[in-house]
Amino acid sequence: MESTIKSGKNLAKGVDIRSSMFQDVDLSEAVFDDVNMAKASFKDISFSKATFTDVDMSHVEISDAELTGMKINGIVVTDMMDAHRRTGSGS
């Protein structure tokens, strides 16, 4: 499939691009506002230093991820996971 979006700044507003494929794409500093990504799949992605605000992450699964420094509601995730392991909860 040939790319239909060329390099440079682009605006997609009020469009339906469901089932689109993004491969080898640089979206650094992109802004996503009022976007539906339900059932989207992310693989080999860098979200380093990204910010997620007012986001519905219900039923999200994260695996094989580097979580160093990641915070959820101000809580360092790796600290939370260590505490969870120490208490033996959910085993």
Tens of pLDDT, residue by residue over 35-87, are: 999 999 999 999 999 999 999 999 999 999 999 999 999 999 999 999 999 99
The residue among 69, 44, 74, 40 whose CA lies nearest residue 57 is 40
Backbone CA torsion sign across 71, 77, 83, 84: positive
Tens of pLDDT, residue by residue over 8-22, are: 888 889 999 999 999
* Integer Cα distance of 79 and 26 in angstroms: 31
Tens of pLDDT, residue by residue over 49-62, are: 999 999 999 999 99
Backbone CA torsion sign across 78, 80, 81, 87: positive
Q: 0.85 exceeded by the pTM?
A: no
Q: Is 72 left (phi over 0), alpha (psi -120 to 50) or beta?
A: beta
Helices (H), 1-91: 77-87
Is pLDDT of 91 > 60? Answer: no
Q: Return the SS3 of 84.
A: helix
